[in-house]
Structures are given as structure tokens and as C-alpha cells.
Amino acid sequence: MGSKDRLDAIVERVGDVQTATLVKAVPEPHAFTYELKWDGYRILGVKAGAAVRLVSRKRQDYTKEMASVARDVATVDADECVLDGEVCALDERGVPSFQLLQNRTRRRSSLVYFVFDLLWLDGEDLRGRPIEERRKLLEQVVLGVNRKGSIVISSASEGDPRAILALACERGLEGIVAKRKGSTYSAGKKPTWLKVKCRARQEFAVIGYLPLMETRDAVGGLLLGVKDSPSGPLHYAGKVGTGFDEKTRVALAKMLEPDRVAQPVVKDVPRFDDIARHVKPRLVAEVEFTEWTEGGHIRHPSFQGLREDKTPDECVKEAPRESASPSTSTRAKKNEDRPEVLGVSISNPSRVLTPTGVTKLELARYYEAVGEHMLPHVKGRPLTLVRWAEGKETEKGGVYLRHAKAWGPDVLRRVKIREKTKLGEYLVADTVAALVGLAQMDILEIHTWSSRADDVEHPDRVVFDLDPAPDVPWKEVVRAAKLVRERLEALGLESWVKTTGGKGLHVLVPLVPEADWDECLGFTRAFAQMMVRDDPKRFVAAVPKHVRSGRILVDYLRNNRTNTSVAAYSTRARPKAPVSVPIAWDELTADLRSDAWNIHTVVDRLRRQRKDPWAGYFRARQRLPRAAR
DNA sequence: GGGGTTC
DNA sequence: GAACCCCAACGCCAC
DNA sequence: GTGGCG
Ligand SMILES: [Mn+2]
Ligand SMILES: [Mn+2]
């Protein structure tokens, strides 16, 4: 048999791929391994002798279109093999983009073939073997391939699916795929493969639009319709107003003009002050969104493109299967319990807090668990807090809260503090319940002043915040902290160190609250400048990024009045909810990392901890050296 | 998350 | 009642 | 005075 015939026979035999079932959460996290979900074309890379073919799910031949990938499949270390994976076009950030893949004819972008399975190897059908064996063989045959090539093994990992999902979403990926340990490969949609998406996405019938301006023919937003069941009628599903460029807005208006009708075709469309233009459903829009609202509409929609292969009639609501797990399933919000933690009622306890991957209830219980250790570091201090805002690219991210204004649970105390230009009302947490109250407010980071509310003008500590540039290795950060300690010691000051949950370290010097802010800032500024003078290759004291590469910023401005630093045992607003942790100096080694502990692992550390890593910190009675004052 | 406004 | 929209910091320092 | 930065 020639290689071409062999190839045909192999495709015939194993050409049907396995697909994943959409779920909201993975039911038995430990029974699965996790991979990132790549957004591209599902492609089998088939090789038989000298013949190579790239085959899509519908058996279309993509060998020519993806010639660079085909070339690399030819170099795989096997006579016959079938690779299963996803061919993607990467954008500038290295994130796969479906839109880019579709428009590739216009702008050349490089293709990457993320492979995750091996279905056939040298005459043997591997699909009956457990996934672990298939992966091992996959690595063996692909690892020999030129490392600069387009084939990349999609890595699999174990752990908390919500944390992995949070990481994937943070990177701008579509979601994750869970594969059951020990499972065989079986064509079609099977429960051994699950997918969890960051954002939902499906097709909607276009049932009208809102003009951008009364005067111009451009689409401001599309009105969308969807069916609840294949045989049911279309109903209103919301409107989508973002995701179009200017050209598309005009083009859509032109396409919709001939379809216009006087009255809405769908019953429950809002009136929109009668500016809405209704159309006979003909076009189908692909729309991404976060979730379905109680009222059957979509939240945070964004237009992805028109679907020419679908009709309005085929637009049926796709709901993910609920997970079987009671701990992570999303029950109807109305019926959801409101558990109490230390007397604080927690709303939406199972809501996952972006970008940590941790639920609100987990966060509340975390502060309950570490409260006894955390409170001495926080009690009495004015706070700055960080929440996470969803929404448009520009306004997504950490939101800093300083002033109490109307909000804030009653368990928190309020104090008025003079600022440079006005009077601000700050929150103070004096009890563990108050920390839980912050969790109820979705607070992901708790930052404290270096003075107490009852003596705001006299700091009771100074903080040396060591911020390494991205290219500084950890061992240099460790060296820097130890140097800070030594030099403080030479000035007669004892210091203590903590991780930050990020990349750097904090070195703290407790003080008798006598010196004022000017003196504390002056001392730390002089100290930082001395470090820079003595070793300008390692340290900077200036904030602008371009002067920092390869160096560590000795950020003395943490000690400016009204400035704060992240509190001991506060979580950070990052994937996996890392935590700032006080450590003993002899724990500060090359093996540690600043994000070594997270919301889960730090609780174990505290439970096992036999002696206080910060022994003596709260009893220290130190003053800044006379020369500095 | 909270508050105000709109439907 | 719910859906939608908007809001939620400050101050230093380099330029 | 503005903007980048923590
Ligand atoms: Mn820092
Ligand atoms: Mn800093």
C-alpha cells in the first residue's frame, strides 16, 4: 500500500474526534487533569510515510492553507501517526485569536499547532489506551521535532480548576478543558472531557438595531433574539453595542436596511423611546457575553461577527449543564443561602471573585481563619482597599477605595483624616468580623497606613518596599532584603520581613510613635539613596520604569503620609489569591517565592506554626537614629 | 457592592 | 422588581 | 501642568 492509501485508511479509521461537554464547574476536581482551551481550528495531523494531511472535524483538507504546520507534522518522529490538536493564529500578546485565523489571508500571522493527543502510532490504534499513556507517547514523538517549529504540546496540569480557569481568563484565553484521568478516547461529545468557558458565546438572530445617530446610517447596537427551544418562538435576548469597528457599523446598517419592518417581529422587545429600527430576522450574529440574567437576557455582550452558516431559526439558547457538585454549582440566586460568618451575612457566597478564582464564602472563611494572626497588623489603622471591576477593557482591574462615603458594613469604624486638599473619611477594621465584612464587600486587598487612627501623625513603623524589575532573579531580591536588614542593624534598628504575594518583599521596622511623617519619610529616603549610591547597578530609588530594568526599586514612598502598604495576611488580587506572609529571616531562602503562599496554604502554615516568625515585633521599642531627626 | 434612574 | 448605568484614591516626581 | 507610577 502506498503512503497516500495508508493515510486514507488511517483517517477513515480514527478521523472522528472527541469533543468536550460544556459545564459551569468541574464536578470532581481531583478526577481530572486540566488544559488550556485554544481557540482555533480543531485539526488532526496525519502522517503516513512521506504523506502528510491536516484534516478538520468535517474531514476538510487544510494541508495547503496550513502548510507551515504540515511541514512540521512531516518531521514527527514516527512512520505513522495521528496528532490531535488545535491550529491557532496568535495575536501580539501570544493569545490565540479566532478572528485573526479567519482573516489570515490578508495579514500573515504565524500558526501554532497546540497538540494534546495521539490517536495512532505506527500501525496501532491508541484510542483504547488511557490518556496518560497516549500523552506520554505524544511527548516522545513530538519532542524530537525542531523546537522552533509550529508544534507545541498543550500542557496538562492538576489542581484547582477554578484557579486554573482564572489564570486562563486572565490571559485572555477562552477557557479550560478537563479530561478525566485514566479515560480512553472516544469520538463525539463524551463526559470524560469537560470544558469550562471564561465567557459564554453563541449565535443570535438579529431582530433590529439602534442607529448610532439619528442622522447617520450606522449601527449603534444590534437587538438580538433567541429561542428557548428549537421549536419555540424567538424572544428578545438583549442588545449588543460593543465589539464593532466603524466600518462594520456602517456595513451592518446597509445590510439591514432592506429587511426593515414597521413593527417588531419579536413580542417582548423594549421600546427604546421608539428609536429602534426593527427588521425581519435574516442575519445571525455571534456574540460573546458573561452570563444569562434572570430575565433571560445576556450580560456584558460583545459582537464577534456574522455567521453565514446559520439561520435565525437555528438560534437556540445554549445553557451549560450545571455541575453535579453542590459546593460549586450555581443555584438560582434568589434561593441561594446567605451564610453568616462571625455574624456577617454573606451574599452570593458561591460567586467567584475575579481574578482570584476564589469564592466570596472562601474569602470570608479565610479572614475568619487567619483573623487572630492578622488583626494585630491591621487593628486601628486607616485602610485603603482594592476591589475588582469587570467591564470594558479600559475600566477592568483593581479599583482602589479609600473613603467610606455611604458604603461599608457597620462592623467597620470610620475616622476623619485631613488630606492635602480635603478631609477624607477612612475605614478602620478593629475586629475579625470587620475583616469578614470586607470580604462581603468583595475586597481583595487590604492596605494599611503606617500610623494608627488615634495618633495619625506619628507612624509606628516604616516600611521598605523592595520592588524588583521583571528581569531581576529572586535570589537578588533575597540578597537585597538581607542587606537592608544588615544596614538597619548597623543603625541600631531591628527589622522583620514578609512576602507580599507578588514579586517583591517588605522589610518593616516597628517604631515608638514619636517621629512624624516628615522624619520617617526623610529617614527612609536617605536610607534608599544610600543603597543606590553604594550599588547603583542593583538599586534605584526612582519610580519611572525605564530606569529600573535589572534593578530593585527601594520604594521609600510607602512612608509618605496617606500612603499604605499591603497588610500581613491580606490576599492579593491575582490568580490563586496569593497572600502576604510574615516570615522569619531564616526562612528567606533562594527556594522561597513572594507568592509562595495563598489563601489555602497559609492556613496550613499557621496551623502548623509552632513559634511566631515575627517574635519580638510587637514588643520592639525603637526610635529612628538621632542623626536622622 | 451600592445607589439612583428607568422601564 | 429588574435591568441598566455609574461610581468607588491619593500624592510624588520626572518630564 | 500633566502623566506614570506605587
Ligand atoms: Mn512592592
Ligand atoms: Mn512599591
pLDDT value at residue A215: 54
Rounded CA–C1' distance between A98 and C9, in angstroms = 38
- Which residues in range 291-350 of chain A are in contact with strand B, contact meaning CB within 7 A of any of its atoms? 347-348
Taking alpha carbons only, the member of A59, A50, A58 closest to residue A11 is A59
Query: Any idea which nucleotide's C1' is nearest the CA of A565?
Result: D6
pLDDT value at residue A327: 30
Distance A372 CA to ligand 1 centre (A): 24
- pLDDT: is A514 or A404 the higher one? A514
pLDDT value at residue A328: 32
Residue A106 CA to residue A361 CA, distance in Å, equals 49
Distance A464 CA to ligand 1 centre (A): 9
Mean pLDDT, residues A398-416: 87
Rounded CA–C1' distance between A543 and C1, in angstroms = 50
Q: Which domains does chain A have, with CATH numbers?
A: 3-197 (3.30.470.30), 200-314 (2.40.50.140), 341-455 (3.90.920.10), 461-563+573-619 (3.90.920.10)
Residue with nearest Cα to nucleotide B6 C1': A272
Tell which strand B nucleotides have any atom below 7 Å from a protein Cβ.
1-3, 7
- pLDDT: is A250 or A495 the higher one? A495
The count of other CB atoms within 10 Å of the CB of residue A150 is: 20
The 3-state DSSP class for residue A498 equals strand
Rounded CA–C1' distance between A440 and B7, in angstroms = 30
Position A320 confidence tier, pLDDT thresholds 50, 70, 90: low
A571-598 pLDDT, tens digit each:
999 999 999 999 999 999 999 999 999 9
pLDDT value at residue A70: 94
Residues lining strand C, beta carbon within 7 angstroms: A 238, 293-295, 297, 299, 334, 384, 387, 389, 395, 399-403, 405, 419-422, 424, 525, 542-544, 557, 560-563
Mean pLDDT, residues A446-473: 97
Proximity of residue A553 CB to strand D below 7 A: yes
Distance A552 CA to ligand 2 centre (A): 10
pLDDT at A330 over 50: no
pLDDT value at residue A25: 82
pLDDT value at residue A332: 40
Contact present, A157 and A33 (Cβ < 8 Å): yes
pLDDT value at residue A511: 98
The 3-state DSSP class for residue A473 equals coil
Q: Which residues of A486-509 are buried (b: 16+ CB within 10 A; e: fewer)?
A: ebbeeeebebbbbbbbbbbbbbbb
pLDDT at A615 over 90: yes
Rounded CA–C1' distance between A553 and C12, in angstroms = 15
Beta strand A156-157 with A151-153 is unpaired
- Please tell me the number of the ligand nearest to residue A543's CA: 2
Query: Any idea which nucleotide's C1' is nearest the CA of A441?
Result: B1
pLDDT value at residue A323: 41
pLDDT value at residue A333: 43
Residue with nearest Cα to nucleotide C8 C1': A401
Query: Any idea which nucleotide's C1' is nearest the CA of A360?
Result: B1
- E strand map for A76-110: 80-89
Rounded CA–C1' distance between A279 and D1, in angstroms = 51
pLDDT value at residue A406: 66
Rounded CA–C1' distance between A399 and D6, in angstroms = 14
Tell which strand C nucleotides have any atom below 7 Å from a protein Cβ.
2-4, 7-15
pLDDT value at residue A213: 66
Query: Any idea which nucleotide's C1' is nearest the CA of A405?
Result: C8
Proximity of residue A465 CB to strand D below 7 A: yes
Region of poorest pLDDT, from A143-157, A425-439, A554-568: A143-157
Position A628 confidence tier, pLDDT thresholds 50, 70, 90: low
A109-119 pLDDT, tens digit each:
688 999 999 99
Taking alpha carbons only, the member of A570, A161, A501, A167 closest to residue A355 is A167
Longest dimension (CA), chain A: 92
pLDDT value at residue A244: 80
Position A294 confidence tier, pLDDT thresholds 50, 70, 90: low
Distance A300 CA to ligand 2 centre (A): 33
Residue A48 CA to residue A82 CA, distance in Å, equals 9
Mean pLDDT, residues A198-207: 86
pLDDT value at residue A65: 86
Proximity of residue A563 CB to strand D below 7 A: yes
Active-site pick, A4, A24, A37, A189: A37
Proximity of residue A86 CB to strand D below 7 A: no
Mean pLDDT, residues A79-98: 83
pLDDT value at residue A106: 39
pLDDT value at residue A494: 98
Q: At what angle do helices A517-534 and A474-490 cross, to 10 degrees?
A: 120
Query: Any idea which nucleotide's C1' is nearest the CA of A542?
Result: C13
Rounded CA–C1' distance between A391 and C7, in angstroms = 13
Distance A28 CA to ligand 1 centre (A): 37
pLDDT value at residue A324: 31
pLDDT at A66 over 70: yes
- What value does the mean pLDDT of chain A take? 88
A483-540 pLDDT, tens digit each:
999 999 999 999 999 999 999 999 999 999 999 999 999 999 999 999 999 999 999 9
Is the overall model pTM greater than 0.80, yes or no?
Answer: no
Rounded CA–C1' distance between A112 and C7, in angstroms = 42
The 3-state DSSP class for residue A206 equals strand
Contact present, A465 and A480 (Cβ < 8 Å): no
Highest mean pLDDT pick, A90-94, A309-313, A557-561: A557-561
- Please tell me the number of the ligand nearest to residue A553's CA: 2
Task: Mark whether A475 is an active-site residue.
Answer: no
Proximity of residue A543 CB to strand D below 7 A: yes
Residue A435 CA to residue A370 CA, distance in Å, equals 10
Residue A433 CA to residue A416 CA, distance in Å, equals 22
pLDDT at A263 over 90: no
